[in-house]
Every structure is written in structure tokens, then in C-alpha cells.
Amino acid sequence: MKNEKAIVVFSGGQDSTTCLFWAKKNFKEVEAVTFDYGQRHIAELECARRIAADLAIQHHVLDMSLLNQLAPNALTRKDIKVEEKEGELPSTFVPGRNLLFLSFAGVLASQVAAKHIITGVCETDFSGYPDCRDQFVKSLNVTLNLSMDSQFVIHTPLMWLNKAETWKLADELGALEYVRKQTLTCYEGVIADGCGECPACRLRKRGLEDYLAERQGV
């Protein structure tokens, strides 16, 4: 893989930034793609742009505003609350989001002659998103290859990691402090450690505390 080119689906959050560091370690050439779908916080796009610049990675920002037109949700609309109810998909779920993102990433990969596509989706902290499942990603990989007569390989380095293990991976890549201070995961648009209250912040914080406690214990 060392001599090949990869494209990372990149949001500027903890997971995809960790994937960016992972890709830089494993591939000769790395580009990133961010989808602009009318995120509530423009900070998210700015954050992604800044990180790509910091890491000297060519960054593509694609307009996906049609996603919000199709499926307004809590990630794009201020009047929809971020909620997670037992046994229901969270209000942040956008049907088909990863299907669309990965498909467009595939088209872009073919344009820039990248064989590898990297996404930070994860089944472990599975919040009920069906298109974050390993089975879905494998199925789409086959579909992309058939659709473009290509040999893409979709990589999901975080698929079986919990949040603590994702922090561990960032640490192993020498990027723990960077990921902690420069990424945005918070639903309220607060960078780094975030608002501390929203579901994304709580998950991120718990994972970090678990990992730091584990590291201390070693």
C-alpha cells in the first residue's frame, strides 16, 4: 500500500482526523474529501480545511446540499434537537448519508486515480446507523468496483474500535494531542473538548478518560 494513493472521507472530527493520520502513515499519497451538506456549524468545514492545510493534504470540498433538501435532520437544522431515544435511530441520522458520501468519494477517487478509500465509520459505538456497518461497507465496495470497473479498496481502520481504542490509535500515530486540540466532534460546534454535554461530547470524553486511565496504569 505504501506506493499507492488514498482518499480519506474527512469531516474534521476525531475519527476522520485519526484516519487521516493513519492514511499518511500507510500510503504514499493522501487526499481528503469533505462534504458540505449545510452542517449547522460552519466551524466544522473551517476545522476540516485547517487540519488539511496543517497536514499539507490536498483537500476537496464537495457541495452536498441536496442531502439537506432530501432529509432535513438535527445535523443541519437548528430547529431539530439532537436526541437519542432507546430503540430508535437518533435524530442525527440522515438516511443514505454514508451511501452517498462513499459513492461520491469513489467517483472522486477514480478522477484522482486513487485506489484506496478510507472512512472512519465504526460499528462498535454503533449508534444505530445502518450505513456504518461493516457489511454495508463491504457491499458498497463491491458495488463501486462493478459500477466503475475498478479495484477500489475501502479501508475502515476504526470499524471495530471503541472510542478509547480510537484515542489509543491516535496516540500510536503520534497525534493524540493534535486530535484532542484541533478536531471538532461536538454537536454544538465547540472545538477540542467541546461543550461536554451533547451525546458526541460525552462519548468522546468517556473514551478519552478511559484511554488516559489505561495509559496511566501501564
Q: Is 186 in the site for Zn ion (CB under 5 A)?
A: yes
**Under 8 Å between Cβ of 104 and 62:** yes
Residue of the chain from 53, 113, 195, 213 that contacts Zn ion (CB under 5 A): 195
Q: Is 84 in the site for Zn ion (CB under 5 A)?
A: no
Which part of the chain contacts Zn ion (CB under 5 A), choosing from 7-15, 95-103, 143-151, 179-187? 179-187
Q: Is 191 in the site for Zn ion (CB under 5 A)?
A: no
Which part of the chain contacts Zn ion (CB under 5 A), choosing from 3-11, 86-94, 157-165, 183-191? 183-191
Q: How far apart are CA 211 and CA 207, in angstroms?
A: 6
Which part of the chain contacts Zn ion (CB under 5 A), choosing from 88-96, 134-142, 168-176, 185-193? 185-193
- The total of other beta-carbon atoms located within 10 Å of residue 111's CB is 10
Q: Is 126 helix (H, G, I), strand (E, B) or coil?
A: coil
Q: Is 188 in the site for Zn ion (CB under 5 A)?
A: yes
**Residue with Cβ nearer Zn ion (171 or 188):** 188
Q: Is 194 in the site for Zn ion (CB under 5 A)?
A: yes
Q: Is 17 annotated as a binding-site member?
A: yes
Residue of the chain from 75, 161, 169, 201 that contacts Zn ion (CB under 5 A): 201
Q: Is 122 annotated as a binding-site member?
A: no
Longest dimension (CA), the chain: 50
Taking the complex as a whole, the smallest distance from the CB of residue 121 to Zn ion amounts, in Å, to: 20
- Output phi, psi for 150, to 5 deg: -120, 180
Q: Which residue has the cell 499518511?
A: 24
Strands of 58-63's sheet, edge to edge?
A: 58-63, 29-36, 5-9, 116-118, 153-155
Q: How far apart are CA 154 and CA 48, in angstroms?
A: 21
Q: List contacts with Zn ion (CB under 5 A).
A: 186, 188, 194-195, 198, 201
